[in-house]
Amino acid sequence: MHGPKAGIHGWGAYIPIYRLPLSEIAKVWGWSPEQYESLDVVEKAVASSDEDSVTMAYEAASNAIKRAGIDPKKIGAIFFGTESKPYAVKPSATIIGEALGITPYTMASDMEFACRAGSEGLRSLIGMVDSGLVEFGLAIGSDTAQANPGDVLEFTAASGAAAFVIGPSENASAIVEDSVTFVTDTPDFWRRATQPYPLHGEGFTGEPAYFYHIENAVRALLEKTGLKPGDFDYAIFHQPNGKFPVKVGKGLGFTIDQMKDGLVTPMIGNTYNASALMGLAKVLDKARPGEKILLAPFGSGAGSDAYYIRVTDSIEERKALAPSVGDYLDRKVLIDYGMYSKARSIMHVIK
């Protein structure tokens, strides 16, 4: 049985200008280089002191709308996936919607599912578009990923955003042909409301969480669609570091060749809700009509989605309408741990 279908009309990403080399973190906390070299990440993207998940979402979504070429007022739902909301209570989605000229006749909400909240928004919109509830919807994943300073998580927790305008299959750049979601109660990573940083179960985040959920979601999608790993041109997985996505992909039967274009974490770290979705944006920047993409975001707590996406003819005309992920990857300024502490409010400044 095929699920509902919808199209990706526009895609957009945002990566802040600053990059912190992992060696800076190691220097401050006394780690040896081997500690971070094994993560296969060189630098992480750091949002400036005037940025947050909302401002990054604004730019990624603005790029997506430019590519979609639609009047923002046609967007009937904004789903904002993040685990770094500026306000614990008060929707971020309304700020984004107002700034982009989407309000007032739209649904708008902030989703929470650790790193796959943005993907939950994406999958929800497929159904909402297919049912006719909305003509277009905006799904965003954006995070100024937090980590306890000195925790191993600090090496990879990075900032970035990705956004997609979802609409009818007609005239779409790519069509989401099918999708599956697989979730269980698995406490591998969490943050209580008053804690500034998320904490994790260390090795428990691996096998019982990341690998178990992605593997099950992807296998279920392959079974449902009758496709084999070799049928896809690209495979994109959630990327907490450079190692995990390659390992999970290989285990499922995908090759490095299929995975390399969707990897962004090795260059900029783990942007949490934007992690796999930015990989998709990067692949769409390159993909040719007719190519097939497998996308598998993951969120702790825990769950994974698996999508089968097919690129259409109209992708080519959309590519140049906004900056590519590559443009943002190229735009970078290296900073030290002091600047990073200032940018992310790790140092306490009395205003």
List residues with catalytic annotation: 83, 115, 238
> Going residue by residue from 13 to 32, which x/- string records binding to other proteins, judged by CB under 8 A?
----xx--------------
Nearer to other proteins, 220 or 329 (CB): 329
Dihedral Cα 49, 191, 210, 228, nearest 10 deg: -70
3-state secondary structure of 169: coil
Token pair for 63: 């790029």
Amino acid at 110: D
Output the smallest distance, CB 262 to other proteins, in A: 19
Q: Compute how many residues bind other proteins; rule: CB under 8 A.
A: 31
Nearer to other proteins, 250 or 288 (CB): 288
Tell me which residues in 34-73 interact with other proteins (CB under 8 A): 48-52, 54-55, 58-59
Q: Is 184 in the site for other proteins (CB under 8 A)?
A: no
CA 269 vs CA 22, 144, 182, 205: distances in Å: 9, 11, 25, 17
Amino acid at 59: E
Q: Is 98 in the site for other proteins (CB under 8 A)?
A: yes
Nearer to other proteins, 69 or 326 (CB): 326
**β partners of residue 144:** 159
Residues in the chain: 351
Nearer to other proteins, 1 or 350 (CB): 350
With a CB cutoff of 8 Å and minimum separation 6, the contacts of 247 are: 211
Q: Is 323 in the site for other proteins (CB under 8 A)?
A: yes
Q: CA-CA distance, 131 to 324, in Å (whole number)?
A: 31
Q: Is 86 in the site for other proteins (CB under 8 A)?
A: yes
Q: Which spans of this chain sit near other proteins (rule: CB under 8 A)? A: 17-18, 48-52, 54-55, 58-59, 86-87, 95, 98-99, 101, 322-324, 326-328, 330-331, 333, 342, 345, 349-351
